[in-house]
């Protein structure tokens, strides 16, 4: 049995924290909602659909890196035994390529995926038990910020942390820096971090990845309002909000918004509060920051890490960068 339910046992009910986060985001003048709440059961499925859209190049790029450079990655890890901790593992579709190689190469390691979505962890664990029966897997449900802060991860010995799929891009640079400094503090000398960054490229390619004509990204973003309706008893009318994407090539920030198409009030019963949306007022729901290699290196230096090696795909669209706590 997975240990994720016990992991969540001492935490406040998710919907309580969810309600607080929704309140603090919607009462701001420039309204926001945290992207981590995209991932309920339906959101997990929609994200899997996004990952397989041709326009969403990120998946293919990171998969190519793992398929082509798995041996080089293991060599660079350089330790015969380690605890492999993955933050925001999702369905582990790409990670599985590395896990299989590590097992076949005889590395001694156990794998602990951490994710806020218990649903996706259950799926991941079932699949790994079937497809990689030799793997020791111990999932942990929760917010990775809290898991790290509370020291709830279970591994002994040297650690290798995976933070893949451009998860770091969901945080503004100051928050990303704070998170990475916290992670640095939790690690021991010699521990490593393999971290994925989506690199700056043709703005048209980036915009297309978040603006598919099939409307899968729009459905994924709107699902957040559906989740608020269901879990916090709200009355968002999804037809009256539309998905809007922007990309600023200077800051490298792609932003997803949900825009109210008319003036309207929305009541959230769990908060006993109504919120007014003016016509064309937007809620920012996701940031996906793109980096240059220079910015990646500056972030490592600013947070105490040393860059050991960059692994890029053949088009230089994406980098998995291996950092070490020296
Ligand atoms: C964009 S998906 C990427 C999944 C995976 N890393 C990949 O590359 O395919 C982000 C994943 O991180 C999880 N996540 C987002 N914020 C989180 C948080 N604060 N704590 C734990 N998991 C989080 C989500 O549930 C989701 O599964």
In 30-80 the beta strands, taken as DSSP E runs, fall at none
- Give the ligand 1 atom nearest the CA of 86: 6
Beta bridge partners of 75: none
Query: Is 23 in a helix, a strand, or coil?
Result: helix
Sketch out the chain's domains with CATH numbers. 29-47+207-289 (no CATH), 57-202+291-324 (3.40.50.150)
DSSP element (H, E) containing 160: strand 159-163
How many Å lie between the centroid of ligand 1 and the Cα of residue 5? 18
Q: Is 165 near ligand 1, meaning CB less than 6 Å away?
A: yes
Give pLDDT tens digits along the chain (326 positions): 344 443 334 444 557 999 999 999 999 999 999 999 999 999 999 999 999 999 999 999 999 999 999 999 999 999 989 999 999 999 999 999 999 999 999 999 999 999 999 999 999 999 999 999 999 999 999 999 888 877 777 767 899 999 999 999 999 999 999 999 999 999 999 999 999 999 999 999 999 999 999 999 999 999 999 999 999 999 999 999 999 999 999 999 999 999 999 999 999 999 999 999 999 999 999 999 999 999 999 999 999 999 999 999 999 999 999 999 99
Q: Is 320 near ligand 1, meaning CB less than 6 Å away?
A: no
Q: Is 98 near ligand 1, meaning CB less than 6 Å away?
A: no
Residue with the nearest Cα to atom 7 of ligand 1? 165
DSSP 269: G
Q: Is 39 near ligand 1, meaning CB less than 6 Å away?
A: yes
CA 152 → CA 42, 147, 179, distances in Å?
27, 5, 16
Q: Indicate the top mutation candidate among 14, 33, 90 to test ligand 1's pocket, ranked by most ligand atoms within 8 A of CB.
A: 90
How many Å lie between the centroid of ligand 1 and the Cα of residue 99? 18
- Reference 293, options 326, 325, 321; nearest CA is 321
DSSP string, 101-145: HHHHTT-EEEEEEEES-HHHHHHHHHHHHHH-TT-EE--EES-HH
């Amino acid at each position: 049995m997975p240990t994720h339910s016990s992991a969540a046992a001492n935490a406040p009910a998710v919907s309580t924290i969810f309600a607080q986060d929704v309140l603090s985001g919607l009462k701001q003048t420039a309204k926001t909602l945290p992207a981590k709440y995209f991932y309920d059961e339906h959101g997990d499925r929609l994200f899997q659909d996004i990952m397989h859209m041709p326009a969403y190049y990120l998946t293919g790029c990171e998969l190519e890196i793992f398929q082509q450079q798995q041996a080089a990655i293991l060599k660079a890890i350089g330790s015969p035994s380690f605890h492999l901790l993955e933050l925001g593992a999702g369905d582990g579709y790409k990670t599985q390529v590395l896990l299989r190689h590590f097992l076949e190469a005889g590395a001694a390691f156990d794998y602990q995926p951490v994710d806020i979505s218990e649903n996706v962890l259950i799926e991941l664990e079932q699949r790994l038990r079937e497809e990689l029966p030799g793997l020791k897997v111990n999932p942990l449900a929760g917010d990775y910020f809290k898991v790290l802060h509370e020291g709830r991860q279970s591994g002994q010995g040297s650690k290798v942390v995976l933070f893949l799929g451009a998860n770091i891009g969901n945080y503004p640079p100051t928050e990303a820096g704070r998170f990475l400094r916290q992670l640095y503090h939790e690690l021991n000398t010699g521990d490593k971090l393999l971290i994925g960054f989506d690199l700056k490229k043709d703005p048209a390619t980036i915009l297309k990845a978040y603006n598919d004509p099939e409307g899968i990204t729009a459905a994924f973003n709107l699902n957040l309002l559906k989740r608020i309706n269901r879990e916090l008893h709200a009355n968002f009318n999804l037809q009256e909000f539309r998905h809007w994407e922007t990309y600023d090539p200077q800051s490298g920030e792609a932003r997803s918004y949900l825009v109210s198409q008319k003036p309207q009030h929305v009541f959230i019963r769990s908060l006993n509060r109504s919120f007014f949306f003016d016509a064309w007022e937007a809620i920012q729901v996701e940031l996906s920051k793109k980096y240059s290699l220079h910015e990646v290196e500056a972030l490592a230096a600013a947070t105490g890490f040393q860059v050991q090696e960059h692994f890029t795909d053949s088009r230089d669209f994406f980098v998995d960068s291996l950092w070490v706590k020296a």
